């Protein structure tokens, strides 16, 4: 193993909680190389590092990594913290998060879902007094949570012959029109900004450049996404939905750019259009 490979192992030890836990267990005599899954070359690197210091630094990086994302994606909850006394980043100092860290892999979607579960519990449980002042509180938590989860790396996607909905494309149904009130939450106010009580559907998508965008999602767009299994040709989808083939091609290309659609095989991306609804937010 060369020095670059050794560096990669150390980086993985810092970013991958389960991998680090396995290394600590093996070093402590609680598992053989085979049982831990480290392999002889990785075990050789592990034997030359201070695992105690490595574990402490790995936990520090984990807390810092998620704090950056909580601060960014839960910025509305943070702005309202003087009223709610529930600054979202407090979760990262809780014993529950400390116990969770050995299971977390930085950037992993399943790991993000575990952290999000803690965040939701902290923000929503026993929150009736908050809802009395901020009726759309639960929707606001769900909105921020969808952004937070969309930031995580998408899972590997098997190639499909036709366009498929990306696994990270999330459709969120809300009871309040949040996009209209969100900007006001980040400005000084005497009274909590009022949101219209109106069914609102949003689509969250993560591009290949890691940019998360949210759009208002019409019935037509929702039906289109639900029909993108990766096994049905665009011409057949257009016929099912009563759409003109050229218009569908434009929309698919736009959705591909946003990261909501994965294009494979015979999907033509020769047309670029702007038929999607106006973006409701971007991060």
Question: Which range (6-15, 29-38, 192-201, 272-281) has the least confidence?
Answer: 272-281
State residue 241's pLDDT score.
87
Give the pair of three-digit tokens for residue 275.
């038929």
- pLDDT, position 37: 56
Tokens of 150: 């969309």
Q: List, for residues 121-167, the tens digit of each pLDDT value.
A: 999 999 999 999 999 999 999 999 999 999 898 767 777 889 999 98
Residue 283: pLDDT over 70 = no
Burial (CB count within 10 angstroms: exposed 0-12, middle 13-18, buried 19+), residue 205: buried
What mean pLDDT comes out for the span 48-74? 94
Q: What is the pLDDT of residues 181-236, one digit of tens each?
A: 999 999 999 999 999 999 999 999 999 888 999 999 999 999 999 999 999 898 89
> Minimal CA–CA distance to 271: which of 248, 242, 238, 237?
248
Mean pLDDT of 107-131: 96
Per-residue model confidence as pLDDT tens digits over 39-57: 777 778 888 888 889 899 9
pLDDT of 34 strictly over 70: no
Residue 273 in this model has a pLDDT that exceeds 50: no
Gap between the terminal Cα atoms of the chain: 40
**What is the pLDDT averaged over residues 245-270?**
77
Q: Is the pLDDT of residue 248 over 80?
A: yes
**What global pTM score does this model have?**
0.85
Q: Give the single-character DSSP code of 216.
A: E
> Strand 164-165 to strand 170-174: parallel, antiparallel, or no bridges (unpaired)?
unpaired
**Mean pLDDT value across the chain:** 87
């Amino acid at each position: 193993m060369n020095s670059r490979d050794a560096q990669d192992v150390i980086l993985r030890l810092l970013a991958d909680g389960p991998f680090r836990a396995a290394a600590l267990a093996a070093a402590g005599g609680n598992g053989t190389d085979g049982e831990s899954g480290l392999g002889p070359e990785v075990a050789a690197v592990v034997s030359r590092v201070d695992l105690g210091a490595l574990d402490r630094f790995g936990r520090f990086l984990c807390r810092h990594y998620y704090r950056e994302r909580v601060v960014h994606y839960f910025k509305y909850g943070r702005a309202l913290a003087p009223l709610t006394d529930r600054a979202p980043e407090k979760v990262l100092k809780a014993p529950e998060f400390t116990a969770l860290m050995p299971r977390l892999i930085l950037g992993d979607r399943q790991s993000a879902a575990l952290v999000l579960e803690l965040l939701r519990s902290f923000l929503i449980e026993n929150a009736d007094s908050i809802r009395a002042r901020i009726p759309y509180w639960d929707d606001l938590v769900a909105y921020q949570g969808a952004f937070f989860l969309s930031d995580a790396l998408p899972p590997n996607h098997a190639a499909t012959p036709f366009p498929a909905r990306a696994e990270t494309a999330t459709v969120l149904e809300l009871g309040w029109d949040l996009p209209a009130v969100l900007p006001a939450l980040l400005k000084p106010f005497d009274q909590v900004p009022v949101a219209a009580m109106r069914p609102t559907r949003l689509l969250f998508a993560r591009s290949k450049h890691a940019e998360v965008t949210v759009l208002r999602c019409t019935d037509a767009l929702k039906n289109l996404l639900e029909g993108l299994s990766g096994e049905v040709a665009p011409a057949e989808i257009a016929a099912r939905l009563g759409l003109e083939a050229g218009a569908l091609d434009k929309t698919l290309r736009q959705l591909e750019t946003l990261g909501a659609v994965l294009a494979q095989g015979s999907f033509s991306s020769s047309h670029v259009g702007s038929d999607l609804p106006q973006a409701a937010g971007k991060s």
